[in-house]
Amino acid sequence: MGADQAEEGGDEADVDLVFDVPQAMSGAICGWRPDMDNEDWGEIAFTRLRRIGEPDPPAKRSWLAKLFGG
């Protein structure tokens, strides 16, 4: 990514290509980038891992719900 950033003008450029390094690494290692769209996968759902038998965490109330008593 250093050469690409230098091509764009280095530190004086209006873009920051270093920001794309994690996505590029993910694509190179896993074959998936967070900014990729693949219709075959359907909707991507992120889940939280927990131990077997661990109860669900209590639902968090938004600060608006807390403020207005909802």
Express each pLDDT in 33-69 by its tens digit: 877 776 676 777 777 788 888 888 788 888 888 888 8
Q: How many domains does the chain have?
A: 1
- Predicted model pTM: 0.40
Q: Which long-range contacts (CB under 8 A, 24 or more apart) does 15-20 make?
A: none
Residue 55 in any domain: the answer is no
Residue 51 one-letter amino acid: R
Residue 18 in any domain: the answer is yes
Helices of type H across the chain: 2-7, 21-30, 63-68
What's the DSSP call for residue 14?
S
| Domain encompassing residue 23 | 1-37
Q: How many CA atoms lie within 13 A of 1 on its CB side?
A: 12
Distance, CA of 63 to CA of 49 (rounded, Å)? 25
